[in-house]
Amino acid sequence: MLSTTLRASQRRSYATVSSVNVAAINRGQPTSSVSVIVKAGTRYESKPGVAHCLKNFAFKDTAKRSALRSMRETELFGGVLSSSLSREHLTLTADFLPGNEAYFVDLLVSQLTSTRFARHEFVETVAPSVKEDATAAYNDPAVLALELAHGIAFRNGLGAGLFASVSNAVTVSDVKEYASKVYSKDNVAIVGTGVDEALLKKLVEEHFAEHAVSGGGAPSASTKSSYFGGETRVAPSPEAHFHGPHTVFIGYGAATPSSELAILAAYLDPTASLKWGQSTSPLSSVLSSGTNIKSVYLPYSDATLAGVLIQSSSVAEVKKAGEAVANAVKAVRNGSLEGEAFQTALAKARFKAASALEERGVLADSVGGKLLSGGDATVESLNTSMEKIDRSSFTKSVSTLLGSKPT
């Protein structure tokens, strides 16, 4: 019933305009947003760190506007510009008041078609910001743990890190070459929210006709993702500035999108539904002051990584929580998740999938990914796929998944 209502309230249409995939979701929101989703995540990068550098090159000088002009005009319209990078997509977004669609579509398209990639901008702005991002990430134990987990779980492709190394070896020529390959019409999806669909299609068609796009075609992963698993231990380097908590990630992966792992992650999540209450998660009993346990579920177009991130100032508490995770996973593999406990985990997973779509960024990435891949590995489709899972099919599938080597 929930997903039926969800789908009815989020009807949208997809269209191809001048070889560019376009989608619009208009629910009468008080603000509008247009996102350009590019299949240019780190799994596709030609050189480690180049996707991170391209992301930080967003909204710099183009043939039509300087970076300063773009910023001042955006402020004049009351808008906000942002860029983000995942392992699969690079996203450029403009949030603004309704009525300013023409300006911001033009600005976004010009980023794809006429960014100058000036050397002085790379040296003075892009490279320093990349170094700051990388330094902050590698000094955050939780971020570092997830970066290492991806490398162990998938090795190549999805195993590529989101951040360039601190001693970044990428040059402006590398960035320009990568952009020339990924900024192509068939490698881009444009998603609008709070925007009239007909208007968005018209503007996209006009501005792509005005600007030539000479990309070399959509990149493809060298191979389909494979899950390997394994373990590693990393001590802080002497130059590390953080004195954060002891951190452990325990997870499992699959070389396919997996709703079963979403249900498992929901079952292990110790977050209570009511403040001061206690979760039904088997991990809630090992929570203590100073210990943080976070459930992680990361779906991709052809793979999934799920697990638990444990952080504590006490090594003993981390070990205790880790043992609890291992025992809970072993019990689930043996078929202990049944009855009300299974229904609770299923409902929790479906709610997380549905509520995630309330966030514009998640919705845009979900729709953009669907447009680019044509697959069903999106947050939106996850809720539908979980409707078909019963306890018997869950136990059978998860037993196989949990039989692989953990990460």
Residue 376 has pLDDT above 60, yes or no: no
Per-residue pLDDT reduced to its tens digit, 189-212: 999 999 998 999 999 998 887 665
Buried b (16+ CB within 10 A) or exposed e, 286-324: bbeeebebebbbbbbbbbbbbbbbbbbeeeebbeebbeb
CA distances from 292 to 112, 150, 156, 321, 350 (A): 41, 21, 30, 9, 24
The percentage of residues in the chain with a pLDDT greater than 90, rounded to a whole number, is 59
Match 């394994």 to its residue by tokens. 230
Band the pLDDT of 9: cuts 50, 70, 90.
very low
Q: Which two tokens stand for residue 258?
A: 């997996």
What's the pLDDT at 3?
A: 38
Q: 14-18, 281-285, 294-298: which has the minimum mean pLDDT?
A: 14-18
What's the pLDDT at 31?
A: 95
In whole numbers, what is the pLDDT of the chain averaged over residues?
86
- Per 3-state DSSP, what percentage of the chain is helix, strand, and coil (rounded to 5)? 45, 15, 35
Q: Give the mean pLDDT of 333-350.
A: 92
**Interatomic CA distance for residues 136 and 138, integer angstroms:** 6
Q: Which two tokens stand for residue 30?
A: 């008080």
CA distances from 156 to 11, 44, 94, 134, 261 (A): 37, 10, 32, 20, 22
